[in-house]
Amino acid sequence: MAIKNDHYTYRVTWSADDDEYVGLCVEFPSLSWLDDTPEAALKGIRNIVAGVINDMSENKEKIPEPIAIKNYSGKFMVRVPPEIHRALAIKAAEAGVSLNRLASSKLSH
């Protein structure tokens, strides 16, 4: 079973605890699939997601929107302690850039 136009965010990683690859889906954090190969783990998690979406659809539940197709404004608020705010403002001033540019640069690395 596969989802047509599947735009969800998947990841496959090694699970040392399970001694297998684990397939994960960001939009469905409670789901996972263990398998012997990364390809099988990806196929497994995609099938599980498809089944869950089918069940949710039948029960008229809200289905998570894929992150890849969401629109983002490019703005979000971050709260930091005042002493960190001051230190960042000083670094930005010393670098001759805005605090926004300094924070954006640090977040992108």
Same domain assignment for residues 30 and 52: yes
On whether residue 5 sits in a domain, the answer given is: no
Same domain assignment for residues 54 and 84: no
Domain range for 96: 72-107
Same domain assignment for residues 58 and 97: no
Same domain assignment for residues 48 and 93: no
Question: Would the pTM of this model clear 0.75, i.e. be above it?
Answer: no
Determine the pLDDT at residue 52: 96
Structural contact between residues 57 and 22, judged by C-beta atoms closer than 8 angstroms: no
**Considering its fold, how many domains does the chain have in total?**
2
Same domain assignment for residues 61 and 77: no
Per-residue pLDDT of the chain (109 residues; tens, 9 = 90+): 667 678 999 999 999 999 999 999 999 999 999 999 999 999 999 999 999 999 999 999 999 999 999 998 999 999 999 999 999 999 999 999 999 999 999 999 7
- Provide DSSP, 33-92: EEESSHHHHHHHHHHHHHHHHHHHHHTTPPPPPPGGG----S-------HHHHHHHHHHH
Same domain assignment for residues 45 and 23: yes
Determine the pLDDT at residue 1: 65
On whether residue 101 sits in a domain, the answer given is: yes
Same domain assignment for residues 44 and 30: yes
